[in-house]
Structure formats: structure tokens, C-alpha cells
Amino acid sequence: MSINYTRMSALIFLLLFMMYSYFAGEIQVFSFDENADFNARTFPKLISYLGIAVSLLALVLSSNEKEEFGHYEWLKVLVLFALVFSYGMFIKSIGFFISTNLFLLVSYYYLGVRNYKVLLFSSIPVVAALQFMLHGLLDVYIRDPFLQLLGVIS
């Protein structure tokens, strides 16, 4: 098994997810919630286990071909990093619904999606459904001035 960029990145992700799994186990849980089916640790642990499994699969099943470092599109990586950073900066000020939709629309457009129907139907309904699940079903409050203005949430 030779080392190439795919295997190096899989190994890095494996280490990151193993650290994430450790820290997810350190999440404080109320004593009455300790034996519940779903508590504060459940979803982070699930994410860490899935990440470990995918990282191991990528590490074992990747090809032995030599990869050129220059063929990756680093500009797209940096632009998407800037978009994620700006999303994190704007989510508190303009709210979840608008900031998430803007992030998805700009990201999809930058990555090459030019059909406006696809852009709109792959962002607005997804964010609306996620907002409904969080606010309506799980009672997780996310500050959103736009939806408060419309009277959708209080």
C-alpha cells in the first residue's frame, strides 16, 4: 500500500473523527437523560462513527495510482472556505433562513449550477424543511429576524 494524497487525506480525516468521537463522549448529559435513547451525545457520536467508517473505507479502497498535487482546484476550496466563514459571520445578524439560502445559492452557482430552477428548488425547500424540523418538531430555537418579521416564528 503506497501513500498518495487520497490516503493522506483519509488518514487525516480518520484522526480528526477519532478526536471528534472522544470529545463527543465528553459532552455533559443530565442524569435523567443518561439512559435515554436520544440525548446530547447521540448525534455527535453517530457523526463520528460514520466519519470513521468512511475514512477507513477511503483509506483501504483508494487506488495505488500516483496523484499530481496540482490537478486539485485549490481556488474553489479557498472560495468555499471563505463562503463558509462568511456564512458563520452572517447567520446571527440576518438569520438562519436567509443566510443559509444565500450560502447554498452562491455555493451552487460557484460550483457550476446555472439552471435557476435547480438553484432555487435545491436550496429554499431544503432550508425551509430543515427550519421546520428544528423549530416545529424538535423545539430548537434558532434566531431568525426574517421569519419573525413574517410572523412564521415567534
pLDDT value at residue 23: 93
Contact 105, 123 (CB under 8 A): yes
pTM, full prediction: 0.65
Calpha distance 68→57 (Å, rounded): 22
Q: What is the mean pLDDT of residues 84-102?
A: 91
Best CA proximity match to 55, nearest among 111, 88, 21, 9: 9
Calpha distance 54→65 (Å, rounded): 20
3-state secondary structure of 110: helix
Using the predicted structure, report yes or no on whether residue 150 has a pLDDT greater than 70.
yes
Q: Is the dihedral of CA 21, 22, 26, 31 positive or negative?
A: positive
Lookup: cell for 82: 471563505
